[in-house]
Homo-oligomer: A and B are copies of this chain.
Amino acid sequence: MGLFLSTTTNKIDKKGRISVPSAFRTVLSKDDFAGVILFQSYTLPAIEGVSMSTMDMMNNRVDQNFAFFSNDHDELATVLFGGAVPLVFDGDGRITLPQHFIDHAQLGDQASFVGMGHKFQIWNPELFKDRQKQSLESVKSQGVTLSRKDT
Residues of A that sit less than 8 Å from B by CB: 1, 3-7, 23, 37, 41-44, 54-63, 65, 68-69, 71-72, 74-86, 114-119, 121, 131-132, 134-136, 138-140, 144, 146, 148-151
> How many copies are assembled?
2
Contact of A117 among B37, B44, B59, B114 (CB under 8 A): B59
Which residues on B sit within 8 Å (CB–CB) of A148? 54, 57, 118
Determine whether the beta carbon of B43 is less than 8 Å from that of A71: yes
Q: List 11 A-B contacts (CB under 8 A).
A: A6-B86, A7-B82, A7-B83, A44-B74, A54-B148, A60-B151, A62-B117, A76-B135, A76-B139, A76-B144, A77-B116
State A82–B6 Cα separation when bound (angstroms).
4
Determine whether the beta carbon of B4 is less than 8 Å from that of A42: no
Contact of A140 among B7, B42, B55 (CB under 8 A): B42
Determine whether the beta carbon of B146 is less than 8 Å from that of A78: no
Sample of 5 further A-B pairs with CB below 8 A, known A5-B55, A6-B82: A5-B86, A6-B85, A6-B86, A61-B146, A82-B132
Which residues on B sit within 8 Å (CB–CB) of A3? 55-56, 59, 81
Q: Which residue of B lies closest to A116 (CB)?
A: B77
State A86–B24 Cα separation when bound (angstroms).
12
Q: How far is the CB of A143 from chain B (nearest CB, A)?
A: 11
Q: How far is the CB of A122 from chain B (nearest CB, A)?
A: 12
